[in-house]
Structure 1
């Protein structure tokens, strides 16, 4: 596993912790958990596809989030029972909300902008250090 994947994995784990905490603290709005869920999915996709173009990562992340949200409309007994478990509730959610789609879109978009800005800054810093060493 290369360094980039390890970094993405550590961010992924941190987002899971923040997401769970956001549901436990009463004054944090519920949409923050959905926002963080989308950020988590974004970094999960990044773990598996660290060198893919940003548009691929954005579209795949949105596709996964939207599919999971629309899956909440499916109400078979087996999936309802699965949603009653802790892991099922965290991964599959409880009920469909259009506002969740907005939170997912906002979360992935903001994450993309931050990551792109960070990488631009990091690349500029790397070039600066290389010029100084010459």
Structure 2
């Protein structure tokens, strides 16, 4: 599949905006607690998937999903490591958003849901295009 970089760049930015919006009091008041607990992590993982789609336009959806999940899992596992230099990075807003603070098994589940949802959407769009042609 040849992904259009502008589309995937825009999707990445859109998902970032959704992720930041999902952390606001207005949105958290509207959604059930279980959704609030995992939405940000699932959107983060979906953003990683679209980011890989932006960077690697010709790789298969399955490959992009595996790379995205591996990246997400690696970041989560890195949260088991605490040294002053990496904790200093984590103490910044951007560093905390990217690296997180503590390893949580439920984040692995949220990442899997986010990447799978993004991959399924890509497959559906790809299939729809093929059927329309």
TM above 0.5, yes or no, is yes
1:132 — aligned with what? none
Report the RMSD for the aligned CA atoms in angstroms. Answer: 1.4
1:60 equivalent among 61, 67, 76? 67
2:7 — aligned with what? 7
1:94 — aligned with what? 101
Indicate the structure (1 or 2) with the bigger Cα radius of gyration: 1
Structure 1 distance, partners of 2:41, 2:3, is: 28
Task: Report the CA distance shift for 1:34/1:3 in structure 2 as closer, same or farther (over 3 A).
Answer: closer
Structure 2 distance, partners of 1:103, 1:3, is: 25
2:88 equivalent among 81, 85, 91? 81
Query: How far 1:3 moved relative to its partner?
Result: 7.3
Spell out structure 1 runs of 4+ moving beyond 3 A: none
**Structure 1 residues not aligned, in runs of 5+:** 128-134
**Structure 2 residues not aligned, in runs of 5+:** none
Structure 1 distance, partners of 2:95, 2:69, is: 20
Contact 1:73 1:96 in 2 (8 A): yes
Q: Number of residues paired by the alignment?
A: 125
Given the two structures, how large is their TM-score scaled by the length of structure 2? 0.89
Contact 1:23 1:30 in 2 (8 A): no
Question: What is the DSSP-based 3-state SS (H/G/I as helix, E as strand, rest coil) of the residue aligned with 2:85?
Answer: helix
Task: Report the CA distance shift for 1:47/1:3 in structure 2 as closer, same or farther (over 3 A).
Answer: closer
Given the two structures, how large is their TM-score scaled by the length of structure 1? 0.88
Query: How far 1:123 moved relative to its partner?
Result: 2.3
Deviations 1:21-49, CA, capped at 9 Å, x for gaps: 11123334120000000000000111111
Question: What is the DSSP-based 3-state SS (H/G/I as helix, E as strand, rest coil) of the residue aligned with 2:4?
Answer: helix
